[in-house]
Amino acid sequence: MPTLHRHTDARAFLAYSEAWLARREIEHAGVLQSARQARANDAHYERPMYWATLEDDGEIVGCAYRTPPYKVGVTALPEAAIAPLVADLAATYSGAIGGFSGPEATATGLADSWVRQRGGSSTVSTGGRLLSFASQPEAASAAGTLRLAGAADTALAQSWGAAASIDSGIAALDGRMCLTLLGAKLLYFWVDDQPRCMIGLLRETRDSVAVGIVYTPAAFRGEGHGTAAMTALNRLLDERRIANRYLWIDRKSDAGQALARKLGCRFVYDSIDIDCN
């Protein structure tokens, strides 16, 4: 049976687990980002915060965290870790916890166990799929160039982000998110005589990139702009020697599935957000 080890704050949690999390940095991006933000400044979160590692024979097998008022986030966990984690969460939080977010099997198991013990119900709010892709030989594609978005693109990023959110049904990938990516130099436009496609990188590290937004307005679809933009991005990543490349898509999106096929993507895992009431 895995044992649960609680940490006093994000700083202590990262000191203990960051090296383990970084071995699969894109899969663990949610917990790494949340913990690093909390390490820098956790004053705006409610209390108690929650930082835990699950261990078997002294080796980390998974992590769980909560930065209230947000849901409990988890990495993939062995099934045997579900019971001790739910028991510790129940002892920590007398009220609602919002739900669970993470790899589908783990988040679902936690939500089911929580509802059995505490009552109420659970509902899936969003589901995504993480895929990996590799550098590929360039094929003929639409003419144009990929450029980093700048301050002059603020209005366009906001409006296209809002439209992309509506088209995809993913509320979080909206205009505000695109402005955040623009400020972090993670937003690109594919341009010929005008912008035709937008690419948003949800995360970029020294060795890895995760693409979360590939949006072409309806008026420009069917002309190969998305494929051309991704081909140019691949070339840019080659130049930067970024080896690990990931695509995050909505599992229900036909456009996302089509792009994944064109890129020859390999399945990594399905993620899910579950509301517990």
CATH of residue 27's domain is 3.40.630
Q: Is 271 helix (H, G, I), strand (E, B) or coil?
A: strand
Where does residue 246 rank: exposed (0-12), middle (13-18), buried (19+ CB within 10 A)? buried
Total number of domains in the chain: 2
- What are the pLDDT tens digits along the chain (277 aa)? 899 999 999 999 999 999 999 999 888 988 998 999 899 999 999 999 999 999 999 999 999 999 999 999 999 999 999 999 999 999 999 989 999 999 999 999 999 999 999 999 999 988 889 999 887 766 667 789 999 999 999 999 999 999 998 887 777 778 999 999 999 999 999 999 999 999 999 888 888 899 999 999 999 998 889 889 998 999 999 999 998 999 998 887 888 888 888 888 999 989 999 999 8
Residue span of the structural domain in which 62 resides: 3-120
CB atoms within 10 A of CB 145: 11
170/219 same-domain check: yes
- 73 and 145 assigned to the same domain: no
User: In this structure, are 224 and 177 located in the same domain?
Assistant: yes
Residues facing residue 204 across a β-bridge: 209
Residue 223: inside a domain: yes
Picking from 137, 139, 135, the residue whose alpha carbon sits closest to that of residue 242 is 135
**Are 71 and 201 contained in the same domain?**
no
Cβ-based burial of 120 (10 A; exposed 0-12, middle 13-18, buried ≥19): exposed
* Same domain, residue pair 37 and 106: yes
- In this structure, the answer to whether residues 173 and 207 fall within a common structural domain is yes
CATH number of the domain bearing residue 234: 3.40.630.30
In a domain, 126, yes or no: no
Q: Is residue 275 part of a domain?
A: no
Cα 189 from Cα 212, distance rounded (Å): 14
Please tell me the pTM assigned to this model: 0.81
